[in-house]
Amino acid sequence: MASKVTPISGFQEWLPTERIAEQYFLDTIREVFELHGFASVNTRSVESVERLSSQGEDADKEIYAVRRLAAPADEQAEPTLGLHFDMTVPFARYVLENAGKLTFPFRRYQIQQAWRGERPQRGRYREFIQADIDIVDAGELPAHYEAELLLVIADVFARLPVGDYTIHVNNRKICEGFYLGLGIDDVIGTLRIVDKLDKIGPQKVAELLVANGLTDEQAKQCLALAEINSPDGSFVERVRALGVEHPTLDEGLAHLESVIATAAEHAPGVAIADLRIARGLDYYTGTVYETMLERDPGYGSICSGGRYDSLATDGKRTYPGVGISIGVSRLLGLLIGEEGLTASRETPVAVLVAVNDEDSRAESTRIATALRSRGIATLVAPKAAKFGKQIQFADRRGIPFVWFPGAGEDGSDQVKDIRSGQQSAADRSSWTPPQADLRPSLVSPTTD
């Protein structure tokens, strides 16, 4: 009996042309990460629930638990394993387990799926791809890496059709020092509330801060700090003008000023100091990042991360790190899913080799083999139909060239560009399509 297929929300499944566009993004991201000296690692899908749930308020809401459906009675208690909801937590565990085999500072990239047990909504999925880079050192991590990650992301986005964007940068030590200077004891709780500014607005945030034990004046000062942003170092004077002093605040301001100065020199116009950025996970201790698309800032961050000093520690040694993650599925949910970005064809094939008749299929296969040996994606026609139908087969898939074995008057092979109709003699050992046709290209719905 046939069963009805019921869609499950929160999962991306692309059509072939869309999948090619996704692969283009993934290949570009990987290439740039490697250009900047990051090595690839892959971690398991599950971590202990204890490790996953220790990362802050948000983490407790996001864990998909894993256990066997047919587990015996003694395994029916609370599950001990969960699917990871980001790459940073499993990477920290990976560093601890392999510290003796890694060379520090260790630069890694990781492009994998993650899972969040939350209600799917625009730009947020139950299953999604993240592309992470992290730099981890043993004992101490120099602050200059916090600026370097911005430059890597700027390099990635310069090669992709993402449009105008801004990386908003803050330093958690600014917030921590400012709150301590105000006499606020619950720094983490205050950070979590301030992090809700974009979702609920300043009035609601002020009410929550007061409900959390702050005075009206303390809440007002917290909001005043969060309102400060600038594309240069002028934010320092504006913070100082609020009249709050603390050594941790001084340290955070100096670090953020350095990050913004480096970004301004090497990727002008990309970074902005934005003191409302907090990030909800507890493990961040220094610089934090969120990246907004200028044309749709309400979509939320498409690339986030920050510094963590104590996430990876075995009790004897600590491995501080800094990382940033591109939300690939989130980004493509907008570019592909909403704006219609796609690929020029549904297959990587550039050439279809026609089959004159089934007795000559072996020759068509030899031609395809020769072309593939030189890196040209080639397909042999599935049927020895009339040439018109074989051309139609190629056209429907966007394959630009059809190869006709022995079609020339002298028995030579011929290749036809089915878009222009131009046909000419071709040698399987030397013919190459134009570079633009060798691989599918991205096609924007606004492209003429």
- DSSP string covering 40-94: E----SEEEHHHHTTS-HHHHTTPEEE--TT--GGG-SS--EEE-SSSHHHHHHH
Verify that 334 and 356 share a domain, yes or no.
no
User: Has 366 been labeled as part of a binding site?
Assistant: no
Which amino acid does the sequence have at 435?
Q
Give the structural domain span for 308: 16-342
What span, in angstroms and rounded, lies between the C-alpha atoms of 201 and 355? Answer: 66
Q: Binding residue per annotation — 116?
A: yes
Supply 203's token pair: 């009035």
CATH number of the domain encompassing residue 434: 3.40.50.800
Q: Partners of 47 in the beta sheet? A: 82
Yes or no: say if 206 and 223 are a contact pair by the CB < 8 Å rule: yes
Q: In this structure, are 312 and 399 located in the same domain? A: no
Residue 136 forms beta bridges with which residues? 106, 321
H or E element that contains 130: strand 127-136
Residue 330 lies in a domain: yes
| Structural domains counted in the chain | 2
Beta-strand ranges (E) seen in 255-340 are 271-274, 287-293, 303-308, 321-327
Tokens of 372: 């593939």
For 32, 135, 145, 169, the CA distances from 37, given in Å and listed in that order, are 9, 10, 13, 23
Last residue within a domain, chosen from 280, 308, 342: 342
Question: Is residue 337 located within the same domain as residue 357?
Answer: no
In 271-360, alpha helices (H)? 328-332
Alpha carbon distances (Å) from 358 to 138, 205, 237, 244, 403: 65, 73, 80, 84, 16
Residue 11 lies in a domain: no
Does 130 carry a binding-site annotation? yes
Q: Which two tokens stand for residue 420?
A: 């222009």
**Is 4 part of any domain?**
no
B/e letters for 8-44, b = 16+ CB within 10 Å, e = fewer, are eebebeeebbbbbbbebbbeebbebbeeeebeebebe
pLDDT per residue, tens digit, the chain (448 aa), is: 567 888 889 999 999 999 999 999 999 999 999 999 999 999 999 998 888 887 654 555 678 888 887 777 666 577 888 999 989 889 999 999 999 999 999 999 999 999 998 889 998 999 999 999 999 999 899 999 999 999 999 999 999 999 999 999 999 999 999 999 999 989 888 988 988 888 899 999 999 999 999 999 999 999 999 999 999 999 999 999 999 999 999 999 999 999 999 999 999 999 999 999 877 667 788 999 999 999 998 899 999 999 999 878 888 889 999 999 999 999 999 999 999 999 999 999 999 999 999 999 999 999 999 999 999 999 999 999 999 999 999 999 999 999 999 998 899 999 999 999 999 999 999 999 999 999 999 998 864 4
pLDDT for the residue 447: 47
pLDDT at 119: 86
CA 236 to chain CA mean position, Å: 31
Q: Is 284 annotated as a binding residue?
A: yes
Is residue 7 domain-resident? no
Q: Are residues 144 and 198 in the same domain?
A: yes
**End-of-domain residue from the set 301, 320, 342:** 342
Q: Both 249 and 371 in a single domain? A: no
Supply the DSSP string of 138-202, one letter for each residue.
SS---THHHHHHHHHHHHHHHTTT--SEEEEEEEHHHHHHHHHHTT-S-HHHHHHHHTTHHHHHH
Whether 264 and 371 map to the same domain: the answer is no
Q: Is 279 assigned to a binding site?
A: yes
> Do 428 and 372 share a structural domain?
yes
Residue 183 located in a structural domain: yes
> Are 413 and 301 in a shared domain?
no
Q: Which two tokens stand for residue 306?
A: 């920050």
In this predicted structure, what is the pLDDT of residue 438? 97
Is residue 302 located within the same domain as residue 337? yes
Q: Is 283 annotated as a binding residue?
A: yes
Query: Which amino acid would we find at residue 385?
Result: A
| 103 known member of a binding site | no
CATH classification of the domain holding 36: 3.30.930.10
What's the rounded Cα separation, in Å, for the pair 225 and 75? 50
